[in-house]
A and B are shown apart, each in its own frame.
Chain A
């Protein structure tokens, strides 16, 4: 049975310190530009802040992983090249990449740099993962959130590198790296611009006690006075079709795997990723502390289920595709 590594989000230097202090084995973060898939205003790190963050994390025995996980724009790829070069220069513990050209550049130019394959690459079977291992020497793959536990176990039996899976946070029901719903109505997507349903296109309108959430002037949801609210993402919108109103893809909910940690360990998973670089350090503090306890309990053969519904979109949690019952 493998020891699970806890990988926590750091959208800001303060969140990095909180994650490390609460027991994260590693934090992941991005530069303050479109090279990472959480390119939100006011978020992320400058090169100097990353250097300081590395010092802080390493002094306390934690690793720092740099996400450069969007796809380099045609004809203006320099920011992505700079990000890879800076990662190598600062000696980050690993760089998380999705773009095949960047993987090639990093593998050839910085052979000592440890490469992780981002979930944005959408490598969801052993053949695809082994191709990335053979061509670029990746050491870990972050698996898409669409795989079941048996599928993850099957993949782990057919590959020789580590697998990382999402453990908590925003629930993407689509195959990462292949979803264009956001760009369909805003012109911007996580894959190319690092944003899903960008804040610049979001408006919240209060109608009496109801809350209407709009994305690019389309109403995505309307919450009644006592309903828990969610973000206006198309995949979690409430639509009317055939005179019935409901959630077509997924309702506002968050992933939480504390109840299936032993099974994930059994499936050969090496690391658990907490989603939420765009969330506050208060979120990072609570989720990191709780997952530290849950992982330590799982290592002792115990099962510690922690709900954390208060932090979740829609106020509810799911184990998502890991326990998929609909197929």
Chain B
């Protein structure tokens, strides 16, 4: 298994997830929120030790903003309970904002990707209460959560069909990822080449400017030295 965040086109918002998200966006929020909360409850029930580690940040709200999905999520930590809902513009400011590709965020929660590595490589951005974020990361990481299994289990009696759909969905995702990556490249290639050219020109100009700056400093120093000698 690789920990490279690039596994999931980490910096690429143009992905099958975005397309899937756009398809479910018009759906009513109430049933989606009920399902999200049901999944969150399932995780809490199966991993009670996580809640104990989260006690010290009760009252904290996290805004989770996937870069490749049209919905944002709000996670609220309460004493002995956490709630998860689709973000609503009337919900007010969150204490912490976490931003990154959805599958990377899920793999981080599953313990397959290292959050610090995602942060170093700039695939994950965070803002707000850093201590609260660290508490959440450490708490979630302290137990073995299999997010895909939890999602399947949250379908109850429909868990079997849900698993089959998820498996097909993952295979479809991988195929679509490859194809959309190619389409994305075809669209952005001319622009990328133009950007690279501009970057090259920009760097040349910067180098010349640095050189001129150094020459100017040397000349100024020489002039000052001559001026001192003249005074003597």
Known pairs A12-B142, A14-B144, A281-B141; A41 contacts B135 (CB<8 A): yes
- Chain A residues within an 8 Å CB radius of B119: 229
In this complex, the interface size class of chain A, counting residues with CB under 8 Å from chain B, is 35 or more
A139 to B15, CA, bound (A): 56
A196 within 8 A of B: no
A286 within 8 A of B: yes
In this complex, the interface size class of chain B, counting residues with CB under 8 Å from chain A, is 35 or more
A306 within 8 A of B: no
B178 within 8 A of A: no
A221 to B112, CA, bound (A): 29
A71 to chain B, nearest CB (A): 23
B4 within 8 A of A: yes
A10 to chain B, nearest CB (A): 10
Q: Nearest CB to that of B56 among chain A residues?
A: A41
> Do A14 and B120 touch (CB < 8 A)?
no
- Chain A residues within an 8 Å CB radius of B113: 280, 282
* Mask: chain B, 107-142; 1 = CB below 8 Å from A; 0 = not: 010011111110111100111001111111111011
Pick out which of these stretches binds chain B: A84-92, A142-150, A198-206.
A198-206
B99 to chain A, nearest CB (A): 9
A205 to B56, CA, bound (A): 24
> Do B111 and A11 touch (CB < 8 A)?
no
B196 within 8 A of A: no
A255 to chain B, nearest CB (A): 15
From A41, A198, A204, A312, give the contact of B125 (CB < 8 A): A204
From A41, A211, A311, give the contact of B114 (CB < 8 A): A311
A173 within 8 A of B: no
The DSSP consensus for interface residues of chain A is mixed
- Chain B residues within an 8 Å CB radius of A199: 130-131, 133-134
* Mask: chain B, 137-163; 1 = CB below 8 Å from A; 0 = not: 111011110000000000000000000
> Do B53 and A42 touch (CB < 8 A)?
yes
> Do B112 and A282 touch (CB < 8 A)?
yes
B54 within 8 A of A: yes
* Mask: chain A, 219-231; 1 = CB below 8 Å from B; 0 = not: 0000101011110
A313 within 8 A of B: yes
A282-327 CB contacts (< 8 Å) to partner B:
282-283, 285-286, 310-315
- Chain A residues within an 8 Å CB radius of B139: 42
A229 to B118, CA, bound (A): 10
B226 within 8 A of A: no
A42 to B126, CA, bound (A): 18
B3 within 8 A of A: yes
> Do A12 and B112 touch (CB < 8 A)?
no
* Mask: chain B, 165-189; 1 = CB below 8 Å from A; 0 = not: 0000000000000000000000000
> Do A41 and B134 touch (CB < 8 A)?
yes
- Chain A residues within an 8 Å CB radius of B49: 13
- Chain A residues within an 8 Å CB radius of B136: 42
A264 to B111, CA, bound (A): 32
B117 to chain A, nearest CB (A): 5
A37 within 8 A of B: no
A283 to B112, CA, bound (A): 9
A278 to B142, CA, bound (A): 11
- Chain B residues within an 8 Å CB radius of A43: 138
- Chain A residues within an 8 Å CB radius of B132: 41
Q: Nearest CB to that of B142 among chain A residues?
A: A12
> Do B111 and A228 touch (CB < 8 A)?
no
A312 to B135, CA, bound (A): 21
A309 to chain B, nearest CB (A): 9
A135 to chain B, nearest CB (A): 37
- Chain A residues within an 8 Å CB radius of B137: 42, 280
Q: Can you list 12 A-B pairs, Cβ within 8 angstroms, ordered by A? A: A12-B138, A13-B143, A40-B138, A42-B53, A42-B139, A42-B142, A202-B131, A225-B122, A279-B116, A280-B108, A310-B5, A310-B117
| 10 smallest beta-carbon distances between A and B, as pairs | A42-B138, A12-B142, A42-B135, A41-B135, A199-B131, A282-B114, A200-B131, A283-B114, A202-B130, A199-B130
Task: Point out residues on A near B: beta carbons under 8 Å.
Answer: 11-15, 17-18, 40-43, 198-200, 202-206, 211, 223, 225, 227-230, 252, 278-283, 285-286, 310-315
